[in-house]
Structures are given as C-alpha cells and as structure tokens.
Amino acid sequence: MRRERFPHPVPIGPSRTADGWSFTVWAPLASSLVLELPGSDLDPVDMRPDAEEPGYWRAEIEGLSAGSLYGFRVDRGPLRPDPASHFQPLGVHEPSALVDHEAFHWRNLAFKPLTMGEVILYELHIGAFTQEGSFQAAIARLDDLAELGVTAVEVMPVAQFPGERNWGYDGVHPYATQNSYGGPQGFKAFVDACHGRGLAVMLDVVYNHLGPEGNYLADFGPYFSARYTTPWGLALNFDGPHSDGVRNFFVQNALFWFRHYRIDGLRLDAVHSIHDEGPHHFLRELAEARDVFAQETGRRHLLMAESHLNSPRLVEVYAQNGLGLDAMWSDDFHHSVHAFLTGEREGYYQDHGSLEHVADTLEHGFAYEGQLSAYWKRAQGVSGRHLPPQAFINFLQTHDMTGNRAGGERLSTLIGFELAKAAAALLLLTPYTPLLFMGEEYAENNPFLYFVSHGDHGLVEAVRNGRKREFADFAWNKSPAESSEPADPQDEETFQRSKLDWDKRWQGLHARMLAFYRECIRLRKLLFTLANTSPHVDKISAGTFGPDTDAAELKHGLRALATDQAGVLALDMHFQAGHLLVIFNFSATPLDRLDSLLPRAPFMTEVLSSADARWGGPEDIITGRTENILYCPPASALVLADERLASYLM
C-alpha cells in the first residue's frame, strides 16, 4: 500500500471557531507550551501536543474577541509573541493580538486576477509613497497609478518590523501587517481599493531570513540552520532536521496572504539565499501548494522570484524538473542598461557596459548564459532562450538598485532627462514584463535611501558600519557629485528625504516625463495584446546595413557598431498585425540618414519620438519624415511601424 505523502499541510496561528478561538503553534522540541492572555481575567492555558501532527501544539478557548492580546511561554521561559501572529499593535517585542478576518467587508470581489502577460508592475514602499506613510494615504494615490496605465502594484514587505520606518526586509513577524502603516484592516482596505481600480496587488515577502531585532522564532523551534548563512544572518532551515515544520510555516504564510488579504501574487525576495539541498525544493512545494489552492478557489496567484543566478529552472515546468514559478527578475537587463548609460563599472556593473550586453538581454533574456563573470569569478548563468518574454521582469530602477547607492540617486538624476526617456521606451516597448519604481514615471529626483528605526543601539551601529562596508566595491563615494558618506540609516531625516513629492508630477519636465510614460504604456498595451501574442524580438546592435542587406540577415544578424554610429540599437519586431522598428540613439550625434542604416525605415510611419516637444524634447529639432529621410535625434528613441500596424497604434 502506498503511504500518504508526509508532511501534511497544517494551518497554524490563531483562528475563529464556532465558540471561540483556536491556536496552533509549531514547537517540536518543547516540553511544555502555555498560552497566556495579558489584560484579561482568564487563566493561562496549557497547550496540548497534537497526536496526529508531530511537533504541533493546540488549544481552544472561549471568552476572547478581536483585539485580545495573547502570547506563549515555551518551557516556562519568557512570554513571547505568536510566531504566526496576525497583528502586533504594540510592536515586535510585545504580545500578539487577535484579528477577525471575517469582519472585513470586501467590495470588489469581481476583480479578475491577471495573467503574467498582462502585468505591468509598479513597485512602491508604503512608508515613502506618501508623506503620511500609511495604507490609507496610499489609497488616495491609486487613481494616479490607474491613469498611468500600470496593471499591478508591487508592495515592498509589510510584515511587522521594529520601529516605524524600515525597508521591510528586517521583518520578524511574517504573518503580521505593520502596525505603523495601518495594520490588517488598513492593508485589506488598500488591496480592495486597488482591485476597485483594476490594479492587482503583488506582495514582497522574505522567505530567506528574518530580521535580528524582535526575532523570537528560535525560542519555538529549529527555524534556522547553522549549515548556511545569508548576507543578512542565519539562513532558514528548509532541509535539515525538523525542516518540515519550517517549510509548512512559510507555505502557509503564502496561502494566508492569498486567503485573508486577497493578494494576487508574491514577489519572493532573493531566492538564491533560500538554501535547500533536499530532494523536493521548497520553492516547488510552494508552487504546488499555490496550484492546489487555485483548484479549490478558482483563483490563480502569481509567484515571481528575485534571483541573481540567471537560472531558468525557477520558471520551468515541473515536468522539466523546474520549480514552477511564473517569472523572475532580470538583473542582466538592469545592469547592462545602467552600466552602458552611466559609464559605471564598479561592483556588479563590471560585467556589463556594452550595448551588445543590452541587445543580448533583449534577444535572449540573459546577457550571461554561462560566460565567465569578472564579478562572480566563475561562469554565470544558463541559457533562457526557450522561455517566453513575460517570464523575465525587466526594470531600470528598484528599491535595491537605487537605495543601495551611497547617495540613493535615481536614474534620471544620473543620465539626464532625454536619455531617461529613451531608456523608458526600451523598458516599456519590449515584450518583457516591465517594473517601474515609484516616482520613476515623473522623474522624481528625491533620493531613495536605506532607512531603519531599530531600538537596539548596538544593532544600529552594526547597520551603519555594514552600509559603509557594502560600498567598498564601488567608487560612488569618490565622486564629487555624491556624498562621501552614506546617509545615516537611523536618522529620521534619511527617511523623510526618501519620500515622493507628488506635486512635481504636474510641473515642467516632470509632467512631460509622466506624459511620455503614459504614452509608452498605452502603446505597449496595444502592441502586446494584439492577438494575445508576443512578437519575435531580434537585435541589430547597429552597424551600417546597406541596401543589399536582406530581411533575414537584418532580422537575425548582429553587427559591430560603426565608429560614427556608436550608441545605436535597433529592435525589429513582427506581429500578426504588422511590423515595428524601434531605434534607440543613445549617442550625442543625430542619425539623419536612417535609410542607409536600415533600408526599410523610410517606408515606415513614425509612431513615437521621445525627442518630440510634447514630451519635453528639444523644440528646434524636427522629428519624423522629411522628404523620405528619417531623422533620429541624439539621446532619443524613435518608433516606426508599417502602414497596417501604424493605423492601429495611432
């Protein structure tokens, strides 16, 4: 007889029952576990071991209500919050509070989850997204995002962290929504408001480590592994003794967000630091649990992984020994574009910098498919050419890429307005899943810096010194344009400087940039919904293509840049409805004879030029067709379409 697979999924934490509340805690090494109820007249309750689920303890109790405080003592130790607490109203060190999830009235239940091909992501930090820094204040800005045209917000982690300001990756209560943002009710109201505007919500979750302050999971069981470390401390125990309970804890966490908050997908932080050498990788177990949940509810949820490994296995199907996720972040696209446009070559940018790297990411997904990496000092990556473009998430800016600079500078600050527009077209008018970082759409020039509000003074000093060490591989602090020291993460002013200034959206070049982003997103939606198909994208890292170059060679060939044409990239895309050509002139020299560069170009119609005065471009530059000669100004993008496709787009 074939035995049932172990472990079984086990819901954990508090839950409502017909007569009261039940509590389930995983503490496999404990001899005793006591539930205490501070502030009530009820006596402590001895938890009982579950006879059918080894390592789990249970109790049921009447006389409690939403908001009641509780905690646990393991083997008569100090009172600790619930590892699966749903709310920490008094902070990370204090008792947990009960949440009645059935009490929230959802208004937008008809929202239809997105497929990966429909996703246009907008990453935001709740604390810095508005001056107030709350879920409620963020709701007031959702109309702006809907008008921009993005289809999904990606919310940086909201799991309870120490203090009131933090990026969120120091969270220590994975099930509890940050109290200073508005807690569980505030987050549900935010998600419901997003759905009411047609916006999906993707939540950033951290399954590779927990923060140091207020981290009491080790009191309950072997959540952590001494076999591995991460850059942020001990790794979680996904493959050692008693790891089944740890795996269940985090799988149940994902389902918790889907079930109680109607989250549409998860962004899985730094999965390369999820160490699992077991036969059934945790990420696959997570994806399979998601699939079962979808069968039960009829709603499929997306799983997107951040990884620097360039590993297609993350998104390959189970039958290919894949892990079954939906998409992965593409560092190669960002590093290639950033290094090329800024000239920075320090740290991880040393592997990038040529336009060919940019072109490789647009044709193949990755620039590194097994080539030797100077930064990693080994072969980097595996080919992902067989994957669909929506499996790659491309971006120009993120919290990491901006906030992990000494000065927190945004890309438009580094490269200027015109190049930033051309880069936006490169991101949005290619078939990969695009991600915008909050404020990017209007060229926000406030920095985004790293900030914390720890209560442990020793930890604060460790964080300050750690930030300085992190910048040792970079030359940013040697530049006259940037500060010699990184901003103090603990200083509240660092946090205040990182907030968006929404008034800029309607001013000068900021308003022009916003209009340009809107237009690019409009074109993107038209292009990549045609017959629900993605184009075949090829690179022409542009040299001089003469009139004798045939279509096949132009489509598939890669040519070296001519010395007088350096900095030019052309993308040739074919749809069922027609043919698109996008030319990027990243140089300081205008291209005034595109007919000699690209023979088909003069017979196509201009759809968009980033240099147009409508988008704040130079007013004395004439764009478009003049006597059958096309002109592409410096630092610009030019979009051309054949007659059939142009009539659809314009």
Percent of the chain, pLDDT > 70? 88
Neighbours of 300 (CB within 10 A): 17
- Would the pLDDT of 538 be above 60? no
Mean pLDDT calculated for residue range 170-181: 97
Choose between 648 and 434: higher pLDDT: 434
Contact 150, 514 (CB under 8 A): no
pLDDT digits (tens, 9 = 90+) for 471-504: 765 655 444 444 557 899 999 999 999 999 999 9
| 180 pLDDT above the threshold of 90 | yes
The set of residues, in sequence order, having a beta carbon less than 8 Å from that of 637 and lying 6+ positions away, is 421, 422, 425, 426, 429, 582, 583, 584, 585, 608, 609, 610
Q: Say which residues have a Cβ less than 8 Å from residue 400's Cβ, sequence separation at least 6.
A: none
User: How far are the Cα atoms of 390, 431, 441, 497, 576 from residue 533, in angstroms, in the given order?
Assistant: 11, 10, 26, 42, 8
What b/e readout covers 444-477, taking b as 16+ CB neighbours within 10 angstroms?
bebbbbbbbbbeeeebbeebbeebeeebeebebb
What's the rounded Cα separation, in Å, for the pair 417 and 424? 11
> What is the pLDDT confidence band of residue 8, given thresholds at 50, 70 and 90?
confident
Residue 593 pLDDT > 60, yes or no? yes
Q: Quick check: 454 and 446 in contact, CB under 8 A?
A: no
Q: Give the DSSP letter of residue 440.
A: G
Residue 385 has pLDDT above 90, yes or no: no
Distance CA 352, CA 361 (A): 11
pLDDT at 105 over 50: yes
Task: Say which DSSP state 591 is in.
Answer: B
Answer yes or no: is pLDDT of 133 > 70.
Answer: yes
State both tokens at 366.
């990755």
Q: Do 13-103 and 531-649 share a fold?
A: yes
Whether residue 176 contacts residue 88, with contact meaning beta carbons closer than 8 Å, is answered with: yes
- Region 11-39: mean pLDDT is 96
The mean-pLDDT minimum among 29-38, 371-380, 527-536 falls in 527-536
13-103 falls under which CATH superfamily? Immunoglobulins (2.60.40.10)
Looking at per-residue pLDDT, the higher value among 133 and 469 belongs to 133
pLDDT score at 562: 30
Which of 148, 169, 149 has its CA nearest to residue 159?
Answer: 169
What's the token pair of residue 205?
Answer: 């979750």
Nearest Cα to 453, choosing from 127, 221, 79?
Answer: 127
- Residue 532: band (very low, low, confident or very high) from pLDDT cuts 50, 70, 90: very low
Exactly one of 239, 276, 306, 441 is catalytic; name it.
Answer: 306
Judged on CB neighbours under 10 Å (0-12, 13-18, 19+), 78 is exposed
pLDDT for 300 beyond 60:
yes
Total residue count of the chain as it appears in this document: 650
Per the model's pLDDT, the better-predicted residue between 465 and 415 turns out to be 415
Domain boundaries, the chain: 13-103, 334-387, 531-649
Q: Model confidence over 196-246: pLDDT tens digits?
A: 999 999 999 999 999 999 999 999 999 999 999 888 888 999 999 999 999
- Which residues, 6+ apart, have CB-to-CB distance to 248 below 8 Å? 7, 9, 10, 12, 26
In the structure, what pLDDT confidence band is assigned to residue 5 with cuts at 50, 70 and 90? low
Asked if 582 and 639 touch (Cβ cutoff 8 Å), the reply is yes
Tell me if 274 sits within 8 A of 254, measured CB to CB. Answer: no
Q: Decide: helix, strand or coil at residue 395.
A: strand
Verify whether residue 444 is a known catalytic residue.
Answer: no
pLDDT band at 563 (very low <50, low <70, confident <90, very high): very low
In this structure, what DSSP letter does residue 436 have?
A: E
Q: Which pTM value belongs to this model?
A: 0.94
Torsion angle of the four alpha carbons 592, 593, 598, 601, in this order, in degrees rounded to the nearest 10: 70
Q: What are the φ and ψ backbone dihedral angles of 293, each rounded to 5 degrees?
A: -60, -40
The token duo for 169 is 């990756």
Look at residue 334 and tell me whether its pLDDT is greater than 90: yes
Nearest-10 Cα torsion for 595, 601, 606, 610: -70
- Would you call 302 helix, strand, or coil by DSSP? strand
| 632 burial type by CB count under 10 A (0-12 exposed, 13-18 middle, 19+ buried) | buried
Q: 555's torsion region: left (phi>0), alpha (psi -120 to 50) or beta?
A: alpha
Cα four-point dihedral sign 595, 586, 397, 500 = negative
Average pLDDT, the chain: 89
Label residue 427 left, alpha or beta by phi (over 0 means left) and psi (-120 to 50 means alpha). alpha
* Cα dist from 601 to 106, 581, 641, whole Å: 52, 8, 9
pLDDT tens by residue, 256-284: 999 999 999 999 999 999 999 999 999 99
CB atoms < 10 A from the CB of 42, how many?
A: 15
Whether 503 is a known active-site residue: answer no
Catalytic residue (one of 82, 239, 264, 269) = 269
Q: How far is CA 252 from the centre of its chain?
A: 21
Q: Does domain 531-649 have CATH number 2.60.40.1180?
A: yes
What are the Cα distances from residue 622, in Å, to 592, 609, 617, 633? Answer: 11, 10, 10, 9
Q: Do the bridges between strand 200-205 and strand 152-155 make them parallel or antiparallel, or are there none, so unpaired?
A: parallel
CA 302 to CA 280: how far, in whole Å?
Answer: 20
Residue 153 sits at the vertex; the CA angle it makes with 148 and 157, to the nearest 5 degrees, is 145
Please check the confidence at residue 602 and state whether its pLDDT lies above 90: no
Tell me the two tokens of residue 432. 């990969």
pLDDT > 80? residue 469: no
Considering only CA atoms, which of 551, 549, 580, 552 is closest in space to residue 642?
Answer: 580
